[in-house]
A and B are shown apart, each in its own frame.
Chain A
Amino acid sequence: MSTASIGRKTRSLSVLGAYRPGVTVAAVGLMAAFTAGCEEQTPVALSDDAIPGSPITVTVEIPWSEFASNLEVFGGYGSAEDIGQGVLAEDFAGSLDARTLMRIGAYPRIATVQDTTGASRPDSTLTILGGRFVAFFDPVESTNTTPVTLALGATTEEWDQTTATWDFAIDTINDQRSWAEAGGGAVTPFAEATWDPATGDTAVFILDSAQIASWTDTTDLSVGARIAVLDTGERLALNRALIRLDARPSSNPDTIIELTATTRGSTFIYSPFPQPPPDGVRIGGAPSWRTILDLNLPEVIDGIPEFCAIVSCPHTLSPGEISYAALVLTSRLTEAAFQPTDSIRLDVRTVLNRAAMPKSPLGVSLIVTPFGRTVPPEAFGSAPGLEIEIPFTGYARDRLRGTDASGNPTPETLALLSVIEPFSIAFASFEGPLSPAEPYLRLVLTIGPPVELP
């Protein structure tokens, strides 16, 4: 075989012209530029006539009896301890008494001080001379605008921070102990102080060394502080408290140093405890209230002329035709003692097993916004009758479909509750099914003809 014949065969097999590679590359590059260089844009028709059909959007309000049933109010969720804030009241709104109990933390046993030579060194031999119990209040949540007198005392009976109530010091399984005297038992009076919200947020109780010494045993369940308000007609919110200790170090006896001890936790006890409303919706409080209801969306829509003009009536709703669904509640006056002084944040969740109430687990929040539906405090006090919409469109679609996105059956029971439980001693009240302003369901429905070919 000659070299020339090999060369001829090479050319005949080289489809794209091996003897002119530049031309080949240019050709392929041109094709690539053709395909990649032209961005795709969909032409936009000039006339609305190119849209097949026009959906109709209508707002429908469905009365309680046609979509909901079995409303029940349950209480007792969480503990006042969970709030981390105390409440003080004396005959507030003609009825409410509340006191705050606090556990005292361990005192500092060592401090770095300057000795008589001026050198700093640890000193573990401290002599407590006295101190101050400093309470910090929330002026916004507190109702008083003028000075009030407060009383600080030491508890004398064993009490349980989680279960203590106005009547019981301990209320756990197999151990229920009443206070010797309702409202925190017989306390040893320590001091009184005045808090004037106009001058600050603190009240200071002066303590002597003996009083401070009585709080040193942190393992004794009877040790604690009880704070009460002596003036009537106000409700105070206590954020926190601490103890400033005056101590004399052994390394420099001529000097007084100040140390700080904190409280280990708090709870509040109050009376009277509210009874469940017979005819309304209650949400919030401490422990918290939840309202449970069964929801059955109407599957068939009839009698709406706009819809019947484009679809046959009665029309069976499909989930995609629900553009918006919300439970509309009308606020009403909350008992004065428990009226909110700050906004209430409402949540709605599915109840996974109603038969297990009040202990049924709940599903995730149905409200898209992270902090729930915010309601101003006036809605339950000075301006009742405010309509509050709690949207749950995604749930309504799942409820109509019967399953959620994962294929699980959609629970038919909903729980209305506070986003954070418990959040405050105050709770929200809404009109119930027997009221003229009963809850109703607001649906925004969009129904259109099927998309057909031209």
Chain B
Amino acid sequence: MNAPLNLINQPLLVMEAASLRLGRRHFGPYTLSLHAGERVAVLGPSGAGKSTLLKLAARELHHSAGHISLLGRDIRHYSLREMSRRRAVLAQTTHVAFGMQTELVVSLGRAALEMDPHLTTIVHSAMQLAHAAHLAGRNMDQLSGGEQARIHLARIFAQLWDIEHGLVMMDEPLAALDPGLQGELLDSMQSYAEARGHALLAILHDINQALHGFDRLLLVSDGQLKNQVNADLHALPALQSLYGIQLGSLVTPEGQAVVYHQKTPARPSRASYPSHLNS
């Protein structure tokens, strides 16, 4: 429980001009720092390099220039096992071969541990937190996409369950879920991270989710980190130029600000559709 003080003051993740060349595309330089307990959303158009940014930080891809450190230590000096006790990654899609049981998949978050006396309890609690307790005992290949996403979320929870000041990275974690569940899972994700001081780094497509659940936005396009802004309505101009669209904002009767896409006459092809087809 008593984390050394320097863990709290020291940034969790630091990227200094980290860059990478993949074929003909150049990504970076990315420069950013992330502190324990911070919630940061990565936004940007498709193919902008959001996933690459995440993969660099997760050491799934190796940066060719610059420097990336986790808790003050170069990530190249970590073993994969050490990395797995500091950061968890939820990929966009994960296909599990052979139709394994859900509890087994959740427990795989802790597969690198030699000794794990509390495994069963942790797997249970993680599944509960991910709203997946009712899926216990089922096989992965019988589950819907949304149900599988919950199991993988539970696996991420289990991985850093008993750790403080970890880093949870997610690539569009909520894409396969219906809106009601999205809200609930976002809440569990945040209470999970808050209780342990984990930082959240999540790629999102929904601007409203990013504004409500996160502290800071990283805006990525053309393989570059274009801007870092606080997650509030002052970010609107930057978001407009990021996506090249007009955004408007409303305040709901409950006092929550909501951002919406203003359809401008500049795009007549869309506007000419009957509204009920424009889904």
| Same complex | no
Which residues of A are at the interface with B, using a C-beta cutoff of 8 A?
A: none
Which residues of B are at the interface with A, using a C-beta cutoff of 8 A?
A: none
